[in-house]
Amino acid sequence: MIIIACMAEGSVAEVKEALAGVGYLADEPAALVSYLAQKLGKPILVEGPAGVGKTELAKALSRSSGRELVRLQCYEGLDEAKAMYEWNYRKQLLRIQAGGEAGWEDVQEDIFSSDFLLTRPLMQAISSPEPVVLLIDEIDKTDQEFEAMLLELLSDFQITIPELGQISATTMPIVVLTSNDSRELTEALKRRCLYLWLDYPALEREMEIVRLHAPELPETLARRLVEVIGMVRELDLKKPPSIAESIDWARTLLLMGAEDIDRETFAQSMSIIVKHRTDIDLVAERVGLRLAEAPSRS
Amino acid sequence: MAGSPYGPQPDPGPPGMAAKLVGFCEELRGEGVAVGTSELLDAFAALSEVDWTRREDFREALAATIAKSQDDRRVFELLFERYFFRTAEAEAIQRGVTEHAEGGPPAGDGERMDLNELSEAIREAIAAGDEDRMRDLARLAIAAFGRGEGSGVVGVDVQRIRRTLGLTAGSQPPTEDGGERPPIDRDQLTGFERHLRRELERDLIERTETLPPSRPLAELDRALPTSPTQDLAAVHRAVSQMKRRLATLGHEQRGRKKGQLVDVRRTMRASLETGGVPLRLRYRPKRPRRPEIYVLCDVSTSVTSASVFFLSVLHALHDSFRKLRSFVFIERISEVTDVFEGERDFAVIAQRISSEGGVADVSGYTDYGRVWLEFLTEISDDLDPRSTVIVLGDARTNGREPHAEIFAQVSERAGRLFWLNPEPKLYWNYGDSVMAAYERYCDGAFECWTTKHLENFVNVVAGAAPSPE
């Protein structure tokens, strides 16, 4: 085992580098779990507050590995017809009407062939000839029954269609499931996944992220920005600012030509990071007033 | 590895990493983390892919495969440190490996550092977040002035060494040549203190050649979650477990003959078959008690941390009992049954109750006396011996009149009255807590600050015997 471990040395770092190369600065655990997922062929379950880059991780994995991204956005009431596959009823009907001569046996065999199958994201990921990254976004929004349906796919990478039999993946997809932790996922699902908790990044790392996406931003301003964002996140808000919003704010500040975040700039651009009426009041009161007055420009 | 894994006679268990990992998982299970065999197999598979010599990778690989929620992860972190430290030490004692066998100082190799240099180096390591360097420096610091004059109590020694080094949290004094030093925040300092503690413990174990007994994680470490957003899932899981128990509890009682009452009328009727001789006894069917429940929940500031928990308990109770009316109170009382029945999402409920619950929150101080008065006038007609009243509150009246006599009336009319107090029993009747005045009229008063307490209480309500503490 130790020999294998030595051979694999440095690969975690490589994954990290590859992710950074496509604009995603992963922390140690994220890089390690991504690496393990590829090595072990296990799905990743990513949990964490909204806007910490859970979905972005899947996208970055897709970009860095050159795989296509197949995305399944979950919502309440999502069923297998929309997630896995569906029989193309209209086409089946046409076939039955058109093929008047053929016997019942032939028609029956014919209309339940893969020609009449509409593939949905999960099926698409399984049957793709090229390896893909499958993103199952916000799994916590679905019902428990849907989770149970996923189990076969997640552990064996196969889907059973009663009329056709099992369809197994020819290539191993990287599966990323994200959850906002709005409901407890079942043990069975968790058991099949590697678990990764993403949190808001530490100050230094967020600064790197912001500077990666808004390179023109001077370092002092970037530091000030993430500090203020940190202060805002500490408040009990309805929706704390996400990383994407920090980046947006950085770009806004660049456009405004701001040199420092003073009270005035903050008041003008605050709506970029805070998006609830009550939140805005709270932030203006708690954070805005702590910033320095704008220098008088008379 | 049941009981105490390592007594005074160290037993490192079967050799090899596999055994250690299995042992680790055993301990995790002991703390309530569900680690299945498949998780364990995954862990082994994951470990064969990472570099073991890097502690971080080793830990993260294990965590990703074993700890599948934030809650589990917290327990994992606590146990990981302890378990592998103890395992290594047990092994060391077993093989008689000591670091100070030569008698000389362990580190330094003639390289001499004075106090200032050492403290400076530590500051740098803390600022850089270099864990390995911090550990080395912690050992150096202990070697320099930790031994000999030590008090023997690790915690005291840690603080003494920290003070000697002149390390404090917050902004740092400038360097000798006037340069500025980056401030050290509390977490960073705690990180260094942890290294100090670890090394002192190691030292102690080496000197005494015994391991201190391993204790289960302190109850308080896993007490009720206090932050409403992050740990809600934990509360919900506990409550959903409780729900499952509630759903099945009634059934256990069926079919048990013990303590049943003979139904005279039916016995006589059955005896007609046998010529009037009551050969077969007929019993009164035992029906599980489906109580009407009234829940009063304190939502004032003194119980802020517990009220989120209590509200979610209410939420769960609403699912399980059809006849449930709930009230929240601070200074005055208001009924929130409709809120719970009309809405499924807990977050929405919590918000609605805080915003439009109609709680007359003038001063924010609880007025228990007034609450009883209002409760009694509002629903006194509905209370009957079949009803159960549950109060969730800390019985802190803020010096106001407790009106225990009215509480007694409530107790008289209701069949059963329970009190759940979010404070440990130790704090009852201290300060403005008037628990004793109310406790007399309760059929049971329980401390309730962990999910275990809650479960115990549920057993009582559902009619089973309370599990022993």
Would the pLDDT of A59 be above 60?
A: yes
Contact criterion met (CB < 8 Å) for B47 and A28: no
- The confidence score (pLDDT) of residue A195 equals 93
Is residue B57 within 8 Å of A35, Cβ to Cβ?
no
- The confidence score (pLDDT) of residue B361 equals 52
Shortest alpha-carbon distance between residue A193 and chain B (Å): 8
B447 SS3 class:
strand
pLDDT band of A132, cuts 50, 70, 90: very high
Closest partner CB to A8 (pick from B50, B236, B240): B50
DSSP track, B311-328:
HHHHHHHHHH-SSEEEEE
Greater confidence (B239 vs B29) lies with: B29
Would the pLDDT of B151 be above 90?
A: no
Closest partner CB to B46 (pick from A36, A45, A181): A36
- DSSP state at residue B427: G
Greater confidence (B82 vs A293) lies with: B82
- The confidence score (pLDDT) of residue B179 equals 61
Interacting residues of B297 by C-beta distance below 8 A, sequence separation 6+: B307, B310, B311, B314, B326, B327, B328, B329, B392, B393
Nearest alpha carbon to residue B309 among B244, B241, B234, B245: B234
Closest partner CB to B50 (pick from A32, A47, A193): A32
Would the pLDDT of A135 be above 90?
A: yes
CA distances from B27 to A188, A193, A251, B23, B35 (A): 22, 22, 49, 6, 10
Instruction: List the structure tokens of B134.
Output: 């911090």
> What backbone phi and psi angles, to 5 degrees, belong to A115?
-65, -30
Contact criterion met (CB < 8 Å) for B237 and A190: no
pLDDT in tens, A216-270: 888 888 888 898 898 888 887 878 899 989 999 999 999 988 888 888 888 888 8
- The confidence score (pLDDT) of residue A5 equals 33
pLDDT band of A284, cuts 50, 70, 90: confident
B211 SS3 class:
coil
Is residue B443 within 8 Å of B418, Cβ to Cβ?
yes
Contact criterion met (CB < 8 Å) for A36 and B50: yes
Contact criterion met (CB < 8 Å) for A32 and B38: no
Helices B115-128, B154-165: crossing angle, 10 deg rounding: 100
Instruction: List the structure tokens of B348.
Output: 């929405």
Any B CB within 8 A of A36 CB: yes
Closest partner CB to B50 (pick from A12, A196, A236): A12
Contact criterion met (CB < 8 Å) for B51 and A4: no
Count of A-B CB contacts under 8 Å: 83
- DSSP state at residue B226: -
Contact criterion met (CB < 8 Å) for A35 and B49: yes
| Chain centroid, CA A60 distance in Å | 9
| For range A52-67, the mean pLDDT | 91
Interacting residues of B76 by C-beta distance below 8 A, sequence separation 6+: B28, B33, B62, B63, B66, B67
**H or E element at residue B60:** helix B55-66
* Contact residues on chain A for B70, CB-CB shorter than 8 A: 47, 181, 197
pLDDT > 70: percent of chain B: 64
- The confidence score (pLDDT) of residue B410 equals 86
Is residue A60 within 8 Å of A22, Cβ to Cβ?
yes
Nearest alpha carbon to residue B341 among B361, B363, B323: B323
Helices B17-30, B37-47: crossing angle, 10 deg rounding: 140
pLDDT in tens, B398-422: 778 888 888 888 888 887 788 888 8
Q: How far apart are CA A257 and CA A252, in angstroms?
A: 8
Closest partner CB to B48 (pick from A4, A35, A181): A4
- DSSP state at residue B390: E
Q: How far apart are CA A98 and CA A93, in angstroms?
A: 9
Instruction: List the structure tokens of B186.
Output: 């509390």
Is residue B212 within 8 Å of B289, Cβ to Cβ?
no
Any B CB within 8 A of A1 CB: yes
Would the pLDDT of A296 be above 60?
A: no
Helices A203-213, A219-234: crossing angle, 10 deg rounding: 130
Shortest alpha-carbon distance between residue A66 and chain B (Å): 22
Residue of A nearest to B68 (CA): A195
Mutation pick from A32, A34, A223 vs chain B, by most beta carbons of B within 10 Å, is A32
Shortest alpha-carbon distance between residue B348 and chain A (Å): 12
Contact criterion met (CB < 8 Å) for B50 and A197: no
Is residue A241 within 8 Å of A269, Cβ to Cβ?
no
Would the pLDDT of A176 be above 90?
A: yes
* Contact residues on chain A for B51, CB-CB shorter than 8 A: 5-6, 8-9, 12
* Contact residues on chain A for B52, CB-CB shorter than 8 A: 2, 5
Residue-level length of chain A: 298
- The confidence score (pLDDT) of residue A71 equals 93
- The confidence score (pLDDT) of residue A290 equals 74
- The confidence score (pLDDT) of residue B201 equals 76
Which three-class secondary structure string do you get for chain A? Answer: CHHHHHHCCCHHHHHHHHHHHCCCCCCHHHHHHHHHHHHHCCCEEEECCCCCCHHHHHHHHHHHHCCEEEEEECCCCCCHHHHCEEECHHHHHHHHHHCCCCCHHHHHHHHCCHHHEEECHHHHHHHCCCCEEEEEECHHHCCHHHHHHHHHHHHHCEEEECCCEEEECCCCCEEEEEECCCCCCCHHHHHCCEEEECCCCCHHHHHHHHHHHCCCCCHHHHHHHHHHHHHHHHCCCCCCCCHHHHHHHHHHHHHHCCCCCCHHHHHHHHHHCCCCHHHHHHHHHHCHHHCCCCCCCC
pLDDT band of A58, cuts 50, 70, 90: very high
Contact criterion met (CB < 8 Å) for B67 and A195: yes
Closest partner CB to A194 (pick from B36, B65, B69): B65
The pTM (predicted TM-score) of the whole model is 0.60
- The confidence score (pLDDT) of residue B457 equals 75
The residue whose two tokens read 């008047």 is A100
- DSSP state at residue B258: T
Residues paired with residue B433 on neighbouring β-strands, in sequence order: B396
Interacting residues of B314 by C-beta distance below 8 A, sequence separation 6+: B295, B297, B326, B340
Closest partner CB to B50 (pick from A5, A184, A194): A5
Any B CB within 8 A of A33 CB: yes
- Please return the burial class of B203, using the count of CB atoms within 10 Å of its CB with bins 0-12, 13-18 and 19+: buried
Residue of B nearest to A42 (CA): B42
* Contact residues on chain A for B188, CB-CB shorter than 8 A: none
pLDDT > 90: percent of chain A: 19
Widest distance between CA atoms in chain A: 92
* Contact residues on chain A for B50, CB-CB shorter than 8 A: 5, 8, 12, 32, 35-36
Any B CB within 8 A of A39 CB: yes
Instruction: List the structure tokens of B26.
Output: 């055993």
Shortest alpha-carbon distance between residue A116 and chain B (Å): 38
Shortest alpha-carbon distance between residue B202 and chain A (Å): 27
Instruction: List the structure tokens of B115.
Output: 């106090």
Highest mean pLDDT among A195-199, B266-270, B463-467: A195-199
Question: How far does chain A reach from its first CA to its final CA, in angstroms?
Answer: 72
| For range A60-72, the mean pLDDT | 92
Shortest alpha-carbon distance between residue A133 and chain B (Å): 19
Nearest-5° Cα angle at A172, A170 to A174 = 145
Interacting residues of A175 by C-beta distance below 8 A, sequence separation 6+: A37, A43, A44, A125, A133, A134, A136, A154
ipTM: 0.79
Interacting residues of B232 by C-beta distance below 8 A, sequence separation 6+: B225, B308, B312, B346, B347
CA distances from A1 to A7, A31, B60 (A): 10, 21, 18
Which runs of consecutive H residues, i.e. helices, occur in B357-447? 368-379, 404-413, 435-439
Any B CB within 8 A of A40 CB: yes
Any B CB within 8 A of A238 CB: no
| For range B191-212, the mean pLDDT | 75
Residue of B nearest to A191 (CA): B39
Region of residue A48 (left: phi > 0; alpha: psi -120 to 50; beta: else): left
